Amino acid sequence: MTAAPKLDQTADGAISVIKRGLRTTPELVEGLVITVLLGLAVAVGQVTIPIVIQRAIDTGGLTTGNVDIGAVVRLVGVGLVIVLFTALMGFLAKRRLVSRAEASLASLRNQAFNHVHKLSLADHNESQTGVLISRVTSDVDSLGRFMDWGMYSWIVQPIVLLGVFVAMAFYSIPLALIAIATFIPVIPVLVWIQRRMVRAHDRRRTAIGGVLGSFGEAISGAEVVRAYGAEDRTSDRLEEASEERYRAGLQANVYMSGVYVVGDILGSIMLALVLIVGVSQREALDLTVGSLTALVFLTVLSLSPVSELGETLNEAQQAVAGWRKVLNLLDTPIEKLDPEAGSTLPVGPVEVEARNVAFSYRGSDERVLSDVSVTIPSGTRVAIVGETGSGKSTFARLLCRLADPVGGELLLNGVPLQSLSAESRKAVVRLVPQDGFLFNATIGENIAFGREGTTAADIDRALDVLNLADWVDSLPSGLNTEVGDRGSFLSVGERQLVSFARATVANPGLLILDEATSSVDPQTDQALTRALDRLAEGRTLISIAHRLSTAEAADLVLVFDRGRLAEQGSHDELVAAGGIYAGLFEAWTVNN
């Protein structure tokens, strides 16, 4: 594989990720004010209990032995109403959050998916498929997991904490200040732990990558492992990777265990301070038994928001990491932009011209193609020959504008490829890839995908042109035969035939064919050759040739070597010239 471009370059901080994330899916914070107001109601509910207790002590006469039951009943009644009301508000707040969160998750997922299909093929080769899938699945899911439980806490609990402090200040401003002051040292400690945790999680993620890598090798290399008796060696490697994953997990665990403790111990100190100051300065602070009790109770209550935030810190961490990855994907630039109102080309064979075309993958200096110049007259049959890695496939991909050249220009009928409208380009240029990839649908549907608005008559005509009607009729359900996942119910050759039919309904002026390398049986091979001959009629055909007979039958042969167009000419001219092609041909004839 050519050096794969990295999709994940930035590792910016959590705040910047959240900012970028909110820009991407503003749904998340739509009507946040209302959610915050509902959160305030929840905070009121939380401080109700200490106030009820304070009132019961001070006005219900609990300490005097002269209990006023009527007053207590009234207090409890009011408390009951508030508790039920705030529970309802809490439910509404969470429901709002759920619907906002799901809207933004769905939007983020769709945006990421659509972006993948807009990426230049330079950022999207086979080795990246797995990574891209995890962007729209597990990475978005990790954000979703946080939104399930954590996000509610992160929005509501700070408000609750604020509410608790406000209630404390209501009873005694100095004691509230003492409580807040005790909280301040928690912040740098938590920041320190959080940094360590990020590093520990990084190590853990890398270790997971190691586990997946070594298991992947053991699975795809299973034949070699067994044929060479490499079981013990492979088992050691797997064991090592699992062990590292275990150690990394334990390390992350240390910080996870520490997070809660900080809040709890400082909370206890806070409580002790409130108690000492409250009792010794009760006259100066104008406290009653009830109000100091309420203050003590409020201090205890202030702990639970902190511990809830600590509980969800891990999820928050992973959510930010997943979010960052998805956002970085969305930030991967789409190099090629289709012109708003592009030029169009008429139906019919196309002349192709390459002027000093050069190409390299993003982030790599290595030229995959350099200085390729050639003119292909319309209606010509061209074969491109060259070793793997010679640049022949890349050249073909550039012609379909799956990526743009980094230098030079490609012209179709004299019109720069980049100025063609997307519609016209799709109508004029058609690539038939090697594997004959089919969608999980019927044969008829797969053919109809060739062009929008394909009718049944178009399909029949295409099958007639390619002489495939008999083959289709021989299938159990004819055109309605299901092809299975990626066309797996059909043989390689049959898949190729369907993709030929698909190309025929599109009626392109320039057909680019990546010849199959996998061998098919002679009968299918014959059928393919005949079908291709008919398909190529009246079009410019460029074949990425894997066999010399294709080159021999072509009007023009382009020989690629290490990213350069080394030779061009007809078969006979090239054989006479005695270059690379002549060498290949000689080796072939010797064997015949």
Partner 1 sequence: MVDDEGVGIDAQKPTVGVGLRLVRQLVRPYPLPFAISVFGAALFAAGTVVSAAVLGWVVDEVIVVNFESDASTSTTTNVAAGAAAVVAIGVLRSVGVVLRRYFAGMTAELVEKRTRTGLATQYLKQPLSWLRSVPPGRLMAHVDSDAHVLIHALHPLPFSIGVIFLALFTGISLYLIDPWIVLVAFVLFPVMMVVNSIYSRVVQKPLASVQKGVADIAGVAHESFEGALIVKTLGRQDAEAARFDHATQRLRSSRISVGIIGAVLNAVLRALPQLGVLSVVLLGAYRVRAGAMTPGDIVEVSALFSALVVPLHVFGFLLESLIPTVVAWNRLRPVIEETLPVAPGTAGLAADGPVSVEVRGLRFAYPDAPEDLVLKNLDLSIAPGELVAVVGPTGSGKSTLCAALAGVLDQAEGEILIGGLPIGSLSPTERLAAVTLVFQEPFLFAETIRSNIDLDGKLSDEAVVQAAKVAAIDEWIMSQPDKYATLLGERGVTVSGGQRQRIALARALARNVGLVILDDATSAIDTIIEQQILGHLRSSTDATMLVVANRLSTIDLADRIIYVRDGTVVASGTHDELLKRDDYHDLVMAYAEAEAA
Nearest approach in angstroms of CB 490 to partner 1 is 14
Angle 120-126-131 from CA coordinates, rounded to 5° = 85
Region near partner 1 per CB under 8 A, out of 181-189, 251-259, 408-416, 474-482: 251-259
Question: Interface residues for partner 1 in 396-425 (CB under 8 A)?
Answer: 400, 402, 422-423
Sheet of 407-412: strand order equals 369-376, 352-359, 407-412, 415-416
Give yes or no for residue 577 binding partner 1 (CB under 8 A). no
Residue 284 sits in the site that holds partner 1 (CB under 8 A): no
Q: Please, what's the largest Cα pairwise distance for the chain?
A: 120
Which of residues 19 and 67 has its CB atom nearest to partner 1 in the complex? 67
| Element holding 213 (H helix, E strand) | helix 186-220
Q: Does 312 bind partner 1 (CB under 8 A)?
A: no
Nearer to partner 1, 467 or 549 (CB): 549
To which residue do tokens 């005509």 refer? Answer: 461
Complex with partner 1: residue 377 or 419, whichever CB lies closer: 419
Q: Does 203 help bind partner 1 (rule: CB under 8 A)?
A: no
Residues numbered 528 to 547 that lie near partner 1 (CB under 8 A) are 545-547
By CB under 8 A, is residue 570 in contact with partner 1? no
Which residue among 8, 12, 239, 537 contacts partner 1 (CB under 8 A)? 239
Which residues, including other chains, have CB under 8 Å from residue 475's CB and lie 6 or more apart? 443, 481
Q: How far is the CB of 77 from partner 1 (least distance, A)?
A: 9
The β-bridge partners of 358 are: 407
Of the candidate residues 59, 304, 418, 570, the single one contacting partner 1 (CB under 8 A): 304
| Residues in CB range of 523: below 8 A, 6 or more apart | none
Of 149 and 471, nearer to partner 1 (C-beta) is 149
Mapping DSSP onto H, E and C, the string for 44-102 reads HHHHHHHHHHHHHHHCCCCCCCCCCHHHHHHHHHHHHHHHHHHHHHHHHHHHHHHHHHH
What residue type is assigned to position 272 of the chain?
A
Residues 506-525 that bind partner 1 (CB under 8 A): 519-522, 525
Answer for the pair 514, 436: CB distance below 8 angstroms, yes or no.
no
When binding is defined by CB under 8 A, the residue of 164, 256, 319, 352 that contacts partner 1 is 256
- Closest approach, Cβ 409 to partner 1, in A, equals 21
Q: Which stretch binds partner 1 (CB under 8 A): 132-140, 347-355, 411-419, 458-466?
A: 132-140
Q: How far is the CB of 131 from partner 1 (least distance, A)?
A: 10
Ranges within 330-369 binding partner 1 (CB under 8 A): none
Q: Cα(501)–Cα(534) distance, rounded to whole angstroms?
A: 11
CB atoms under 10 Å from CB of 528, counted, come to: 20
Hey, what are 322's tokens?
């997943």
Q: Nearer to partner 1 by C-beta: 192 or 228?
A: 228
Q: Between residue 38 and residue 97, which ones bind partner 1 under the rule CB under 8 A?
A: 45, 48-49, 52-53, 56-57, 60, 62-63, 65, 67, 69, 72-73, 75-76, 79-80, 83-84, 86-88, 90-91, 94-95
Which segments of 221-283 does DSSP mark as H helices, in order?
222-227, 231-280
Residue closer to partner 1, measured from CB, 107 or 355: 107
Q: Which residue is listed with tokens 């109403």?
A: 81
Q: What DSSP element (H or E) covers 543?
A: strand 540-544
Given 12, 387, 473, 572, the residue binding partner 1 (CB under 8 A): 387
182 near partner 1 (CB under 8 A): no
What angle, 0 to 180 degrees and rounded to 10, lies between the N-to-C axes of helices 492-506 and 522-536? 10
592 binds partner 1 (CB under 8 A): yes
Q: How far is the CB of 3 from partner 1 (least distance, A)?
A: 7
Cα–Cα distance measured from residue 352 to residue 350, given in angstroms and rounded to the nearest whole number: 6
Q: Taking CB under 8 A as the criterion, which residues in 444-483 touch partner 1?
A: 449-450
- The size of the interface with partner 1 (CB under 8 A), counted in residues, is 164
